[in-house]
Amino acid sequence: MEDNIGLRGQGCSLAELPEHTWGRITQVFGEGFWRRRLLELGFIPGTVVEVVRTSLAGDPVAYRIKGTTIALRKEQAALIFVQPLFNATCIVGNS
């Protein structure tokens, strides 16, 4: 299984972006069902995604992608690697 450890200096996982920030998807990790499902939902490299809202419990988190709001659990969002946009800063260790 792939991991994103070698890419840490170039961005972060979607789960590490704070609320009300944006990122451009650079890679989708994982295998099988979840990778395929994330790609089907529009989490495709090059696509811009916004972190809209975190639930009161902190999980799941709502993301806006291509005009649609989709809720993902942190374990799913951690499979999506992004480059933060507009001076956003990753919260490392949040996933």
Place of tokens 């949040």: 94
Angle at 58 between CA 95 and CA 39, to 5 degrees: 55
Instruction: With beta carbons less than 8 A apart as the criterion, state whether 89 and 20 touch.
Output: no
Structure confidence at residue 93 (pLDDT) = 61
Give per-residue pLDDT as tens, 21-76. Answer: 999 999 999 889 989 999 999 999 999 999 999 888 878 999 999 999 999 999 99
Instruction: With beta carbons less than 8 A apart as the criterion, state whether 59 and 71 touch.
Output: no
Of 53, 71, 3, nearest to 31 by C-alpha is 3
The CATH number of domain 14-85 is 2.30.30.90: yes
Q: What is the mean pLDDT of residues 85-95?
A: 71
pTM of the predicted model over 0.95? no
Q: Is the peptide bond before 45 cis (omega within 30 degrees of 0)?
A: no
